[in-house]
């Protein structure tokens, strides 16, 4: 079989999690690179990359419901917020302003955050299964507004608008990940933690996508009526899609804020949902690796534009002058999304496919 990477002699091999040697090798190299990165990079960059890993978990979740199952959800920020507050509630101590249950173990609050978000996902699903396309997008948008209101008003849980509360603590069985010690600095250790969690979540999602459930998702996306006719239980699989996606969003919400430092109720707005949509679309809808690439791209975009700022001196870095770098960033989101949708609808993943095809078929162009 050597030298014939696309020759499969069994169905099992064709459907394997990593079905080509190239995928196995590149995943191995990526894992090695990820493990080595904390020794190569500055702590501030590492923190950003750790956030990228967490954003990738969230983007994979949205990718499952929007990219695979084709159900447009603008409500990701809502589930994100539920995860963040559940984790903070479970992990935090009851203080003067905010309440908490005082269980700081990550292995407790992370699943709790995911499961509570999942519960809300299942609660929303009956609406979602009745609606299609843009109706669904607007309903999920409504969720974000209702969520923002509740987060803003429920002061004992969230600390209230503009104030916020402390997030969950990164602690594993009493070992504080977020403290600098002989194992490494705070940033190094949290990067390792987030990176390994990303690998677990990504592999789990890919595994789901290649299973019966994943095939049902793509069938619903491609033509929901046809899928229903051939025996895919639409409401059941749409519910599953929402449940899994909310679980991922909840986990990402729980993990992100320990890296940021505090949770402010105003964060869980439409803009956050749009950012995640942008990650999925820029990365490439309907692929796991695309969602990860898109998440890192969007997370690193602000520092990228700041790095490029000296090249365009008429753009100011101070927020009071016009045009300033923050406005350029926001416009870039919009322009990038439009540009990708018009010129490369398959996103970063599509660009990669083109490059790969070029070298695979070289020197021929087909």
Binding flag, residue 134, other proteins (CB under 8 A): yes
Binding flag, residue 28, other proteins (CB under 8 A): no
**Which listed residue (135, 175, 180, 236) binds other proteins by CB under 8 A?**
135
Site stretch for other proteins (CB under 8 A), options 12-20, 29-37, 54-62, 137-145: 137-145
Evaluate whether 259 touches 248 at the Cβ level (below 8 Å): no
Per-residue binder mask for other proteins (CB under 8 A), 38-77, x = binder: ----------------------------------x-----
Q: Give exposure, 253-277, as e/b (b: 16+ Cβ within 10 Å).
A: bbbbbbbeeebbbebbbeebbbbbb
Site for other proteins in 239-258 (CB under 8 A): none
Binding flag, residue 163, other proteins (CB under 8 A): no
- What pairs with residue 165 in β-bridges? 263
Site stretch for other proteins (CB under 8 A), options 122-130, 207-215, 288-296, 306-314: 122-130
Q: How many residues does the chain have?
A: 366
Evaluate whether 285 touches 347 at the Cβ level (below 8 Å): yes
Q: How many CA atoms lie within 13 A of 144 on its CB side?
A: 21
Binding flag, residue 131, other proteins (CB under 8 A): yes
Closer to other proteins by CB, 141 or 351: give it: 141
**Which listed residue (18, 27, 316, 333) binds other proteins by CB under 8 A?**
333
Q: Is 182 helix (H, G, I), strand (E, B) or coil?
A: coil
Site for other proteins in 270-289 (CB under 8 A): 270, 274, 277, 281
Q: Is 316 helix (H, G, I), strand (E, B) or coil?
A: strand
CA-based radius of gyration for the chain: 21
Query: How far is the C-alpha of 172 from the C-alpha of 166, rounded, in Å?
Result: 18
Site stretch for other proteins (CB under 8 A), options 27-35, 39-47, 115-123, 127-135: 127-135
Binding flag, residue 298, other proteins (CB under 8 A): no
Query: How far is the C-alpha of 26 from the C-alpha of 352, rounded, in Å?
Result: 14
Evaluate whether 277 touches 333 at the Cβ level (below 8 Å): no
Interacting residues with other proteins (CB under 8 A): 72, 126-127, 130-135, 137-139, 141-143, 145-146, 149-150, 152-154, 223, 225-226, 229, 270, 274, 277, 281, 320, 322-323, 327, 330-331, 333-338, 341-342, 345
């Amino acid at each position: 079989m050597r030298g014939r990477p696309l020759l499969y002699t069994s169905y099992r091999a064709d459907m394997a999690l990593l079905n080509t040697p190239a995928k196995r090798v590149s995943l191995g190299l990526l894992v090695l690179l990820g493990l080595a990165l904390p020794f190569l990079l500055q702590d501030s960059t590492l923190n950003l990359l750790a956030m990228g890993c967490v954003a990738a978990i969230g983007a994979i979740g949205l990718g499952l419901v929007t990219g695979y199952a084709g159900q447009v959800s603008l409500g990701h920020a809502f589930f994100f917020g539920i995860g963040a507050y559940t984790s903070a509630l479970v992990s935090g101590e009851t203080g003067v302003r905010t309440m908490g249950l005082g269980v700081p173990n990550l292995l407790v609050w992370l699943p709790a955050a995911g499961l509570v978000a999942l519960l809300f996902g299942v609660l929303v699903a009956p609406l979602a299964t009745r609606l299609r396309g843009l109706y669904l997008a607007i309903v999920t948008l409504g969720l974000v507004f209702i969520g923002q209101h509740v987060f803003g008003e429920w002061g004992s849980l969230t600390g209230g608008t503009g104030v916020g509360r402390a997030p969950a603590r990164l602690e594993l069985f009493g070992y504080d990940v977020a403290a600098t010690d002989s194992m490494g600095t705070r940033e190094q250790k949290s990067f390792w933690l987030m990176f390994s969690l990303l690998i677990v979540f990504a592999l789990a999602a890919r595994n789901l996508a290649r299973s019966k459930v994943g095939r049902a998702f793509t069938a619903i996306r491609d033509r929901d009526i046809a899928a229903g006719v051939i025996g895919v239980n639409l409401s059941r699989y749409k519910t599953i899609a929402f449940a899994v996606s909310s679980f991922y969003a909840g986990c990402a919400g729980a993990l992100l804020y320990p890296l940021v430092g505090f949770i402010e109720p105003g964060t869980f707005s439409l803009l956050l949902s749009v950012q995640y949509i942008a990650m999925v679309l820029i990365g490439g809808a309907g692929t796991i690796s695309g969602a990860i690439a898109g998440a890192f791209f969007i997370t690193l975009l602000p520092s990228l534009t700041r790095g490029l700022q000296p090249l365009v001196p008429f753009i100011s870095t101070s927020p009071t002058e016009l045009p300033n770098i923050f406005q350029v960033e926001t416009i870039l989101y919009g322009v990038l999304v439009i540009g990708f949708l018009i010129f490369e609808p398959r996103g970063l993943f599509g660009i990669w496919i083109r490059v790969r095809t070029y070298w695979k078929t070289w020197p021929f162009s087909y």
